[in-house]
A and B are shown apart, each in its own frame.
Chain A
């Protein structure tokens, strides 16, 4: 079999391969590095960091659903200062390509975070979380308001030379409008999709199964929706898309790339098999080699409609 060129380019961002660990499913790299060689995976998107530490939501935070799970972790994180001091050096030592996910509850907080983190050389790109559905103080509003997404992108763009990726919410009518706004304001790429808002009840206690009442649905259950959103963006807007939503094996990854993704993120599947991202990468490479595809990037938006 011929060797396959796995490099992908998303605007200013160059990755050794398109398989990325999704934010909030790989921590800050420490735990998953026992299973995954972070120097071989495309990139790790770190757990959302906010300016101040956040304890997260009270339990119960997660529940299983058909082919998926609901979570309302509430952006539990150690805060920007400790992230830079403790976690970045570890990721550097592991030779990881670091994409830093930022969550905030105000426009100003996003700006302060990007300014502070811009000087960290080893951060390759920022992913802006405008769409966490589980935090009550505003996170949801940003992701559902195209003007807010536009304003955040426009505000952050001059603050950093690093690639800016905006992670889009599917809990909206026309996701392509959001991608277009990111594109117009100079964003480099969009990640699609974040989780879908859902809930589940215990029929005996009649109480929600998670304390937050609603949570974000992820896993294979949302894959067809995610694929449709990626395709929608791909057809309407000329911006690189990082596809995610229920990717569990290499076939899913290939499917997302065909539907328009330049790279993919593996999320919930890490919870079931922490090695799965490596297996997905190998699988995609083998698929390309067998199909006579020289560059993985040829898969992107190769759909025949």
Chain B
């Protein structure tokens, strides 16, 4: 199905952690499919200093309502955090290529860093429907940053040890994987988070010989392949991929971070 471009009404906004909120909007159009990992481009305001749209992964879908999980990092996200129920926001999507949750594996090993957790609630739904087992690791800077609605499949790590495992998501993932390995599962990795974390995760999956998909964040203008602004280096030395069109989800072996 095609993309929606137009105004959507805010139906809920909830703060779920320090500076992190979920924003749910109702799209006045039925019968569309959104795959986990796909994103929308949101026009936060008509203000000149937030000129471009902002890309946000879809966090969950409920009929024709789409939910995003957003961390306040700048003016655009701050404006979104001030939206009230009934406010209209202009959105474009779904865009990009999402996660492949169907393939030949029985256990999904998910690693998220910070608000990189955003695309995973929808991924769970789909994984469960496919009958896959989900093992999740979610790393946060501190306990205050942990979303209250974090799925129970996720074990938590915090950098400062204020909750769960003390250390980063990748260190915790290494430990968790060792436990899993005893069980002879066919594992596929999924990850999303800030680039330095993804670099480490990519290395980790490679070392462990686990096929993995990672969702990459990028500065973006159009979100549909027009501006070519969101380049990420290809691993095959053939230039660049566009995060908006070829991604944002990539096989971890396809990109250089």
Chain A residues engaging chain B, CB cutoff 8 angstroms? 24-27, 30-32, 34-35, 55-69, 71, 73, 76, 219-221, 268, 270-275
Contacts and interface: CB of A to CB of B under 8 A. Distances in A.
B53 A274 contact: no
A76 B226 CA distance: 11
Interface residues of B, number: 30
Contact of B49 (A58, A66, A71, A272): A66
Interface stretch (B143-151, B156-164, B173-181, B214-222): B214-222
B121 interface: no
9 contacts: A27-B226, A58-B233, A59-B233, A62-B220, A66-B48, A67-B48, A73-B227, A270-B222, A272-B51
A61 B222 CA distance: 13
B58 interface: no
B27 to A, nearest CB: 17
B255 to A, nearest CB: 11
Q: Nearest 5 A-B pairs (CB), nearest first?
A: A55-B239, A62-B229, A67-B48, A271-B222, A271-B221
Interface in B1-22: 2-3, 5
B246 to A, nearest CB: 12
B230 to A, nearest CB: 7
B224 A56 contact: no
Interface in B106-139: none
A64 B240 CA distance: 21
A67 B232 contact: no
Nearest to B49: A66
B228 A63 contact: no
Contacts of A69: 51-52, 221
B72 to A, nearest CB: 17
A58 B50 CA distance: 24
A89 B42 CA distance: 33
B225 interface: yes
B51 A273 contact: no
Contacts of A62: 219-221, 227, 229-230
B155 interface: no
A157 to B, nearest CB: 31
B48 A220 contact: yes
A34 B51 contact: no
Contact of A275 (B2, B5, B228): B5
A31 B228 contact: no
Nearest to B244: A31
B51 A76 contact: no
Contacts of B230: 59, 61-62
Most interface-central of B231, B233, B238 (chain A CB within 10 A): B231
Given A56-B231, A57-B231, A58-B233, 14 more contacts: A32-B224, A59-B231, A61-B229, A62-B220, A62-B227, A62-B230, A65-B51, A66-B51, A68-B51, A71-B227, A76-B228, A76-B231, A219-B51, A273-B5
A59 B232 contact: yes
Contacts of A221: 48
Given A32-B226, A61-B228, A271 B52 contact: yes
Contacts of B220: 62
Given A35-B5, A274-B5, A64 B228 contact: no
B43 interface: yes
A303 to B, nearest CB: 26
Interface in B70-124: 92
A31 B53 contact: no
Contacts of A270: 222, 226
Contacts of B219: 59-63
B225 A73 contact: no
A55 B5 contact: no
B91 to A, nearest CB: 12
B225 A27 contact: yes
A275 B238 CA distance: 32
Contact of A271 (B3, B227, B231, B239): B227
B226 A67 contact: no
Nearest to B231: A59
B226 A34 contact: no
Contacts of B50: 64
Contacts of B228: 24, 56, 61, 73, 76
Residue in A59, A220, A271, A274 with the greatest tally of chain B CB atoms within 10 Å: A271
A55 B240 contact: yes
A273 B231 CA distance: 21
